[in-house]
Amino acid sequence: MITEHSLHAADITSRAPASPPTLGESVYQQLRLRIVEGRLLPGSRVSLRSLAESVGVSTMPTREALKRLSAEGLVEFDRRSVTITTLTAEEIRELFTIRLALESIATEWALPRFDAERSGRLRAVLDQMTAPGLTPPEWRELNREFHQTFYSGGRSRYLLDLIHNMWDRLQPYMAIYVSDVPDFAKADRQHEDMYQLMVAGDLDGLLAATREHLNHTAETIIGALADGAGSTKEKSVNYDELSVGSFHALIERGDITSAELAAWYLDRIASLDSVDNPDGPRINSVVTLNPSALDDAARIDEQYARTGALVGPLHGVPVLVKDQAETKGIPTAFGSQAFAEYVPVEDATVVRRLRQAGAVILGKTTMCDFAAGWFSFSSRSDHTKNPYDPDRETGGSSAGTAAAVTADFCLVGIGEDTGGSIRLPSSFNNLFGLRVTTGLVPRTGFSPLLRHQDTPGPIARSVPDLAAVLDVIVGYDPADPLTTIATTTSDVGAYSATVESTNADELSSFRVGVLSDAFGDGADGELTNSVVHAAIDELRRLGTTVVDGVLHGDLPAWVADTSLYTAQSRHDIEEFFRSRPEMPHTSLADIVEEAVHPLTDLLIDIAAGPTSPEEDPRYYPGRMRQEAWRLKLLAMMADSDVDFLIYPTVQVAAPTRADLEAKRWTALDFPTNTVIASQTSLPAMSMPVGFTDTGLPVGMEVLGRPLAERDLLRFARAWELATSPRRPAKLSVTVDA
């Protein structure tokens, strides 16, 4: 609503064009607004780096802004962290006493000028305040509008300025007030009483009602602060390795909020991931932060405070998303420096479903250029370190997601798998990664690599978390015809329910076949083989029927004959470019010439490929060979009478960066077994099964029949319950002496 005060302010600013704010002024205004609006609550603590990154600047202008905010008494800060100042009960009462004095004068001046027009405006505001479904922030703004509409009748700009300054100083505490009260019935009655006294012209009664209303508000805030509202200082919550279930249990007990968890992850990213922190390990898994993440989390908290119900199955869950997925309003570069400034206008379908389920998108993760490779190096973000050994490779192309999930920079992550880009980095990072039956999860809004092989999916520290995300993202999407497969059976969905009912004893109900010619050779292969063979022995001990010696025969030739990157990927990628007029480039060859990481090889070969796959004589035979391979694998399972085939996810452990710089492998000859599922459209799970003698994680892949996701999740969950294979990476910040 436009008030007389706002019109007056507009008149003042219209007299002379305002100069654009300086960077320091802009940062100051953004941070002050967040504090004043209660998006950063009194007592909350964040790292200086995460605060700077949330507004898209370095720490230097942030420090300058914090100096001004500190002088105003809004924050306290040191070299590393920022704490939003909490007032004592005595200070809050003092401020409300001053507010009462100012508003009493404003009441005496405004009441004689109270007329029918202003009465009608106030009546409209009151009706909005009592409307059903009103959120706490909406009620708070209407509360302010009610008082401002009345006081502006006094026509004193100077008095209104003083009142507005007082409101701003108390506004963070009003955010606590609206979150703490079970409903606004009492405050609404007080406002209605004040309105009736205004209509009656009863000055003494109105002053007394104003005093009662402000006293009620002040004491409610003081009581909420005494109960710990807005503060995490005294809480002993362990945020490490949280699961979706444990996080929601903490929320329901009142021990944590979504905003607190999001802030904790942002702090970890600033301390342990950011390449700008010389004291940290600089994992470099997050390429872009969502500047609205804390605001999004706060809105979820406000809705929960109002309704007492979780907003969805992923209520407040902080998620990091591979930069292959378009995210509305958040830069999406697809791993390429050439697209660093591209900001999508729509979310990918998967991202939209995550938001609708209540997830908080923390930001975007690193990946190699256009997902064309098994490693992390990228023209956009260079190299992502493996949290278990910073000299080792994280694995690609969902490198950043896997590193971030295992380093505890988010609760769960989203990757994408064309040839193995979910499962390979999961194997290298002691995680569970699932490639679903192709088409079960929509690809809309993801940059393609091979359209008929692409599939987004979850990466998680635990199977229940994997299932929780999968329940949200699977299903038919009219914009992706391949997702019609999700409508062909009732075996889609209910993954969390499946996992919840699983116990460790169920391992004895499964039969698995060991694909013996999918194991590597040489010293590197033996490091991985020994871990996987030990896991197979453990499966036997736990009651699983293991069928040894399942031979594929001529496996390398099947891999080579069904690889279609150089025949098809250029067409699919450039078609994606052309479908979006706002894209900065449409030619892959131009991009490769302008911006490509020096260790990239596959993307260069792809750019030299045909504009239409039909032009390549290998294309149609390759597609037919993929179908023949799928049938061969299904026949092998049937002949061996097994539920799954098992083998090392990758035949070697995570390579060193030196190996990659020496070009020991190319993208097309790196010994990963993940292509078996990818080039046959079968579902497969990589699950953690142990570590090499040098402490490197090893994964075992479990290959299933089409739409066998529930069985894969049951098997992986039973393994998880029986063996507890998760071992967190140890990361730390260097402390100054």
Positive or negative: CA dihedral 696, 700, 706, 708:
negative
| Tens of pLDDT, residues 191-236 | 999 999 999 999 999 999 999 999 989 888 888 777 665 544 444 5
Across 295-318, average pLDDT: 93
- In this prediction, residue 736 has a pLDDT band, given cuts at 50, 70 and 90, of very low
Q: Are 704 and 676 in contact (CB under 8 A)?
A: no
- What is the pLDDT at residue 18? 53
| Tens of pLDDT, residues 344-384 | 999 999 999 999 999 999 999 999 999 999 999 999 999 99
Q: For residue 712, what are the β-bridge partners?
A: none
Take residue 432 and report the two structure tokens written for it. Answer: 């569970």
89-226: in CATH 1.25.10.10? no
Written as one letter, the residue type at 48 is L
Across 309-328, average pLDDT: 97
- What is the pLDDT at residue 351? 98
- In this prediction, residue 15 has a pLDDT band, given cuts at 50, 70 and 90, of very low
Across 623-646, average pLDDT: 98
- What is the pLDDT at residue 737? 37
3-state secondary structure of 258: helix
Q: Are 377 and 600 in contact (CB under 8 A)?
A: yes
Helix ranges restricted to H, 542-645: 555-561, 565-578, 588-594, 602-607, 619-640
Measured between alpha carbons, how far is residue 579 from residues 444, 572, 629 in Å? Answer: 12, 11, 32
Question: Residue 208 and residue 215: Cα distance in Å, rounded?
Answer: 11
Measured between alpha carbons, how far is residue 688 from residues 161, 325, 427, 535, 696 in Å? Answer: 62, 26, 6, 10, 11
Percent of the chain topping pLDDT 70? 95
- What is the pLDDT at residue 734? 63
Please, which residues have CB within 8 angstroms of residue 213's CB and are 6 or more apart in sequence? 187, 190, 191, 194
| Tens of pLDDT, residues 113-171 | 999 999 999 999 999 988 887 777 788 888 889 999 999 888 788 898 898 888 888 87
Question: Residue 715 and residue 720: Cα distance in Å, rounded?
Answer: 9
CB atoms within 10 A of CB 55: 17
Question: Residue 176 and residue 85: Cα distance in Å, rounded?
Answer: 14
- In this prediction, residue 9 has a pLDDT band, given cuts at 50, 70 and 90, of very low
Dump the DSSP string for 315-339: TT-EEEEETTB-BTTB---TT-GGG
- What's the predicted TM-score (pTM) here? 0.75
CB atoms within 10 A of CB 661: 12
Please report how many Cα atoms fall inside a 13 Å half-sphere around the Cα of residue 576, on the Cβ side.
21
Q: At what angle do helices 136-151 and 185-200 cross, to 10 degrees?
A: 20
- What is the pLDDT at residue 165? 86
Please report how many Cα atoms fall inside a 13 Å half-sphere around the Cα of residue 397, on the Cβ side.
29
Given a cut of 70, whether residue 3 has pLDDT beyond it is: no
| Tens of pLDDT, residues 683-692 | 999 999 999 9
Which residues are designated catalytic? 322, 397, 421
Could you give the strand order of the β-sheet that contains 360-365, starting from the edge strand earlier in sequence?
286-289, 360-365, 318-322, 412-417, 455-460, 432-435, 684-691, 697-703, 644-648, 511-515, 545-550
Q: Per-residue b/e over 226-259, b at no fewer than 16 CB within 10 Å?
A: eeebbbbeeeeeebeebbbebbbebbeeeebbbb
Please calculate the CA angle 661-666-672 and round it to the nearest 5 degrees: 110
Question: Residue 72 and residue 367: Cα distance in Å, rounded?
Answer: 43
Q: Are 705 and 684 in contact (CB under 8 A)?
A: no
CATH number of 244-500: 3.90.1300.10
- What is the pLDDT at residue 11? 39
3-state secondary structure of 498: helix
Please, which residues have CB within 8 angstroms of residue 418's CB and are 6 or more apart in sequence? 371, 397, 449, 450, 453, 454, 455, 678
Question: Residue 307 and residue 135: Cα distance in Å, rounded?
Answer: 9
Q: Are 190 and 52 in contact (CB under 8 A)?
A: no
Take residue 318 and report the two structure tokens written for it. Answer: 């902080």
Question: Residue 133 and residue 610: Cα distance in Å, rounded?
Answer: 56
Exposed/middle/buried for residue 481 (C-beta within 10 Å: 0-12, 13-18, 19+): exposed
Take residue 325 and report the two structure tokens written for it. Answer: 């997925």
3-state secondary structure of 82: strand
Answer yes or no: same fold for 89-226 and 244-500. no
- What is the pLDDT at residue 171? 79
Q: Are 531 and 691 in contact (CB under 8 A)?
A: yes
- What is the pLDDT at residue 34? 80
Positive or negative: CA dihedral 147, 152, 154, 158:
positive
3-state secondary structure of 35: helix
Please, which residues have CB within 8 angstroms of residue 486's CB and are 6 or more apart in sequence? 439, 440, 474, 475, 476, 492
Question: Residue 633 and residue 653: Cα distance in Å, rounded?
Answer: 25
- What is the pLDDT at residue 14? 39
Give the closest residue to 379 by CA, choosing from 332, 339, 335. 335
- What is the pLDDT at residue 236? 59
Mean pLDDT of the chain: 90
CB atoms within 10 A of CB 699: 32
Best mean pLDDT range from 5-14, 36-45, 493-502: 493-502
| Tens of pLDDT, residues 433-477 | 999 999 999 999 999 999 999 999 999 999 999 999 999 999 999
3-state secondary structure of 417: strand
Given a cut of 50, whether residue 251 has pLDDT beyond it is: yes
Written as one letter, the residue type at 315 is H
- What is the pLDDT at residue 594? 85
| CATH architecture of the domain formed by 4-84 | Orthogonal Bundle (1.10)
Peptide bond into 397 cis (omega under 30): yes
User: How much of the chain is in helix, strand and coil states, percent to nearest 5?
Assistant: 50, 10, 35
Top pLDDT among 19 and 198 is at 198
- In this prediction, residue 595 has a pLDDT band, given cuts at 50, 70 and 90, of confident
Given a cut of 50, whether residue 321 has pLDDT beyond it is: yes
| Domain ranges (residues) in the chain | 4-84, 89-226, 244-500
Given a cut of 70, whether residue 19 has pLDDT beyond it is: no
- In this prediction, residue 638 has a pLDDT band, given cuts at 50, 70 and 90, of very high
Question: Residue 51 and residue 495: Cα distance in Å, rounded?
Answer: 37
Measured between alpha carbons, how far is residue 642 from residues 533, 581, 701 in Å? Answer: 18, 49, 15
